[in-house]
């Protein structure tokens, strides 16, 4: 059974029954799931979690749905990898990558959509929908296929090919909108007022967002039941960032880990950094911008959870970094060449962001640092096409040796 008690407005604290609503009627603040932690504390334990399924559903006591009925394509339980090579390149001795690029639809979005799709079925919806910057489209289409739901998936028309194909293959109704993500999102809010569809990141958003907490639970369990000193995270709406923080807090409050030393470091691409800008200006007021970045998965100019992300930075003693556009591909290459992990542009942002954090002495060499890699590089091939150089040869030894002798780059 699920331990949800109500929804609560994050701005004015008014409570609402746990229904498919996401906005407070009084102040228009976002609603968040409230749990009966007393009841959870009576059942949860390290042993109970460890005996659970090898997926995000091992943490179902802390999710707002009944996991036995989950719409599940096996999201989560992804590797946490100790990275000696990348650590050496950056001057860190205790560095880990949480590799969420290997989820079933190749991004962390499977965690949030698995919860949202399960909730949609529970509420009796027959249609799963979303406004997406790309990865969400793939995940919603995949989960709808698994659940036998109809799918209405809205994307900006200029997305990377890998994300269009990665969503279209599940045969959703895929709607490519001539406009930015923020325009797609506005359109979808209007549509959701007129159609009874489960928009995972609109009317189902309070439940959807909870799925990201499993990124904290898993890391804590994989580290031997502790929270890291630093978490470095890419932000679009800012939701995942705030929920990773919430996940560590919950584990600590329930006595599953000790106190939480984690400093939460927010990273965005320079071409779309409204949260970082607000942090730099020392304000909690986010000024919406028009994105111009190759990190399309992070291209939200008007981030719904920006305020809460800023509060998380502050509460945790973390930081916020904008990564210059030309360093995004460098970050992708660095992770690939040192650790054999191919991430998308959002991963390039966090890896290069980490480099800046080390340079600014925000992270000490021995501190336990976790970098969240949230999406897969095969979906953003356009970004790296110019930096990959195969040797084209004739099928004979001479041609091979000639090509090798002319090799000027520094490939291994
Ligand atoms: C959506 C997405 C994010 C950010 O998610 P938010 O919760 O909106 O901040 C990060 N990385 C990747 C790869 C994504 O697709
Ligand atoms: Zn309110």
pLDDT digits (tens, 9 = 90+) for 271-295: 999 999 999 999 999 999 999 999 9
Confirm whether 313 is domain-assigned.
yes
- Say if residue 176 is exposed, middle or buried (CB neighbours under 10 Å; 0-12, 13-18, 19+): middle
Phi, psi of 320 (to 5 degrees): -140, 130
- Counting ligand 1 atoms within 8 A of each CB, the residue from 112, 132, 213, 298 with the most, and so the one to mutate, is 298
Confirm whether 87 is domain-assigned.
yes
Lowest mean pLDDT among 15-19, 67-71, 270-274, 405-409: 405-409
- Per DSSP, 267 falls in state E
Confirm whether 368 is domain-assigned.
yes
- Counting ligand 1 atoms within 8 A of each CB, the residue from 142, 323, 374, 379 with the most, and so the one to mutate, is 374
Angstrom distance (rounded) from CA 54 to CA 37: 24
Dist. CA 411 → ligand 1 center (Å): 31
Angstrom distance (rounded) from CA 376 to CA 360: 28
For residue 389, the model assigns a pLDDT of 84
Confirm whether 194 is domain-assigned.
no
Q: Helix 161-168 and helix 135-147: axis angle, to 10°?
A: 10
- Say if residue 212 is exposed, middle or buried (CB neighbours under 10 Å; 0-12, 13-18, 19+): buried
> What integer is the mean pLDDT of 386-401?
94
For residue 409, the model assigns a pLDDT of 67
Confirm whether 291 is domain-assigned.
yes
> What integer is the mean pLDDT of 67-88?
95
Confidence of residue 412 (pLDDT cuts 50, 70, 90): confident
358 contacts: CB under 8 Å, gap ≥ 6: 90, 91, 92
Q: Ligand 1, atom 14: nearest CA belongs to which residue?
A: 297
Between 185 and 411, the higher pLDDT residue: 185
Confirm whether 408 is domain-assigned.
no
Is this model's pTM higher than 0.75 or not? yes
For residue 174, the model assigns a pLDDT of 98
Angstrom distance (rounded) from CA 98 to CA 87: 14
Atom of ligand 1 nearest to the CA of 300: 8
For residue 28, the model assigns a pLDDT of 92
- Counting ligand 1 atoms within 8 A of each CB, the residue from 106, 108, 300, 341 with the most, and so the one to mutate, is 108
Confidence of residue 408 (pLDDT cuts 50, 70, 90): confident
> What integer is the mean pLDDT of 90-112?
98
Phi, psi of 373 (to 5 degrees): -100, 110
Confirm whether 294 is domain-assigned.
yes
Confidence of residue 392 (pLDDT cuts 50, 70, 90): very high
For residue 66, the model assigns a pLDDT of 78
Angstrom distance (rounded) from CA 359 to CA 90: 9
3-state helix, strand and coil shares in percent for the chain, rounded to the nearest 5: 45, 15, 40
Angstrom distance (rounded) from CA 40 to CA 31: 21
> What integer is the mean pLDDT of 77-85?
98
137, 183, 346, 381 from 376: Cα distances, Å:
14, 25, 9, 10
Per DSSP, helices labelled H in 176-271 are: 181-194, 205-210, 214-222, 239-253
> What integer is the mean pLDDT of 180-206?
97
236: number of Cβ within 10 Å: 27
Residue 1 reports pLDDT greater than 60: no
- Average of per-residue pLDDT values in the chain: 96
> What integer is the mean pLDDT of 218-240?
98
Angstrom distance (rounded) from CA 46 to CA 68: 19
Domain interval for residue 311: 80-106+211-385
Dist. CA 32 → ligand 2 center (Å): 11
CATH code, domain carrying 276:
3.40.50.1100
Dist. CA 77 → ligand 2 center (Å): 35
Beta carbons of 206 and 30 less than 8 angstroms apart: yes
> What integer is the mean pLDDT of 6-33?
95
List pocket residues of ligand 1, CB cut-off 6 Å.
107, 109, 133, 135, 234-241, 297-298, 344, 346, 374-375
> What integer is the mean pLDDT of 163-171?
98
pLDDT digits (tens, 9 = 90+) for 302-348: 999 999 999 999 999 999 999 999 999 999 999 999 999 999 999 99
The separation between CA 75 and the C-alpha centre of its own chain, rounded to angstroms, equals 13
The domain tally of the chain equals 1
Residue 405 reports pLDDT greater than 80: yes
- In the chain, % of residues over pLDDT 90: 96
Q: What is the CA radius of gyration of the chain?
A: 21
Longest CA pairwise span in the chain (Å): 77
Confirm whether 177 is domain-assigned.
no
Counted residue by residue, the chain has a size of 412
230, 251, 283, 357 from 360: Cα distances, Å:
14, 30, 22, 5
Angstrom distance (rounded) from CA 129 to CA 73: 17
192 contacts: CB under 8 Å, gap ≥ 6: 129, 199, 202, 203
Dist. CA 103 → ligand 1 center (Å): 14
For residue 80, the model assigns a pLDDT of 98
């Amino acid at each position: 059974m699920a331990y949800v008690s109500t929804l609560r407005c994050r701005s004015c604290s008014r409570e609402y029954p746990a229904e498919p609503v996401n906005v407070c009627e009084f102040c228009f603040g976002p609603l968040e799931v409230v749990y009966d932690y007393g009841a959870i504390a009576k059942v949860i334990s390290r042993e109970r979690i460890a005996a659970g399924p090898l997926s995000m559903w091992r943490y179902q006591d802390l999710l707002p749905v009944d996991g036995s009925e989950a719409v599940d394509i096996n999201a989560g339980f992804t590797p946490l990898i100790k990275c000696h090579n990348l650590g050496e390149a950056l001057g860190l001795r205790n560095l880990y990558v949480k590799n969420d690029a290997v989820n079933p639809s190749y991004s962390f979005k499977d965690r949030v959509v698995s919860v949202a799709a399960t909730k949609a079925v529970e509420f009796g919806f027959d249609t799963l929908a979303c406004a997406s910057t790309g990865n969400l489209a793939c995940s919603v289409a995949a989960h709808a296929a698994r659940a036998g739901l109809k799918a209405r998936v809205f994307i900006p028309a200029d997305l990377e090919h890998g994300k269009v194909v990665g969503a279209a293959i599940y045969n959703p109704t895929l709607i490519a909108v001539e406009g930015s993500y923020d325009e797609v999102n506005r359109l979808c809010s209007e549509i959701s007022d007129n159609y009874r569809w489960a928009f995972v990141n609109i009317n189902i958003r309070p439940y959807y967002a909870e799925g990201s907490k499993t990124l904290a639970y898993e890391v804590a369990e994989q580290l031997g039941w502790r929270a890291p000193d630093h978490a470095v995270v890419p932000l679009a709406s800012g939701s995942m960032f705030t929920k990773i923080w919430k996940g560590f807090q919950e584990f600590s409050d329930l006595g599953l880990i000790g106190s939480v030393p984690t400093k939460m470091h927010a990273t965005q691409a320079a071409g779309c950094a409204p949260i970082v800008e607000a942090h730099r200006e020392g304000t909690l007021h986010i000024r919406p911008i028009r994105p111009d970045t190759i990190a399309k998965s992070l291209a939200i100019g008007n981030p719904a959870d920006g305020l809460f992300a800023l509060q998380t930075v502050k509460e945790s003693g973390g930081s916020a970094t904008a990564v210059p556009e030309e360093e995004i591909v460098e970050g992708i290459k660095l992770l690939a060449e040192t650790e054999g992990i191919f991430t998308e542009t959002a991963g390039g942002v966090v890896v290069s962001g980490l480099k800046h954090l080390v340079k600014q002495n925000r992270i000490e060499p021995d501190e336990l640092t976790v970098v969240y890699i949230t999406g897969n590089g095969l979906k953003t091939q356009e970004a790296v096409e110019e930096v990959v150089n195969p040797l084209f040869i004739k099928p004979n030894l001479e041609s091979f040796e000639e090509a090798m002798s002319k090799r000027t780059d520094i490939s291994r």
